[in-house]
Amino acid sequence: MKLKTDLEKDIAIRELKLTNGEARTIANYQFLTAKPLLMVVNIGEEQLSEVAALEAELTPRYSREKCRLIAFCGKLEMELAQLDNSAAEEFRADFGIKESGLDRTIKLSYELLGLISFFTIVSNEVKVWSIQNGTSALKAAGKIHSDMERGFIRAEVISYDDLIKCGDLSEARKKGLLRLEGKDYIVKDGDVITFLFNV
């Protein structure tokens, strides 16, 4: 088998162009080298000003399909995690850090895994749900509960940014920013969705 030959040459499965049939054949084996890879480079505080240059230098060497690289100072991130948000943001600004290492790691992980998030609001409770990019509203409803998928009628959708500008769903409804979408609507990252269903 071609795969055996490639593995013997130390080529990771994630780097191979497998057909759908080949991917299905090996799926049950759970090969570690088939999984996406996120390389985290832990740097010292003295290298903080060089993060962009370091990532620019290392990325072409190590980033490929299903493989990404990120650099940050783990010690500093640990210390910043102990502070409240405003103090941590001020501290990051002093160091010229735009985004926390944790936030960057989560975003890259989602990208590697092909995931997006959508939100639901029930009363005063907001929940975030992770789904594969390209998922329909019908399947997203099923992620919450199978009854919602089975009895799906439609989805009321607004982007997170539009909702924040409006302040709440009732104000967004008044401004006409809520869209009614059917079961084939492809959920976008950051959508806030109210599923209408009947069982």
- Convert the pLDDT of each residue in 69-113 to its tens digit: 999 999 999 999 999 989 999 988 888 888 999 999 999 999 999
Q: Does domain 115-197 have CATH number 3.30.70.3270?
A: no
Confidence tier at 1 by pLDDT (50, 70, 90) = low
Structure tokens at 112: 């590697």
Enumerate the CATH 3.10.20.30 domain ranges in the chain, comma separated.
Answer: 115-197
pLDDT at 97: 87
- Convert the pLDDT of each residue in 115-133 to its tens digit: 999 999 988 899 999 999 9
* Cα–Cα distance for residue pair 59/70, rounded to 1 Å: 8
pLDDT at 140: 98
Count of other CB atoms within 10 angstroms of residue 192: 21
SS3 readout for 8-57: HCCCCHHHCCCCHHHHHHHHCCCCHHHCCEEEEEECCHHHHHHHHHHHHH
**Model confidence at 64: pLDDT above 80:** no
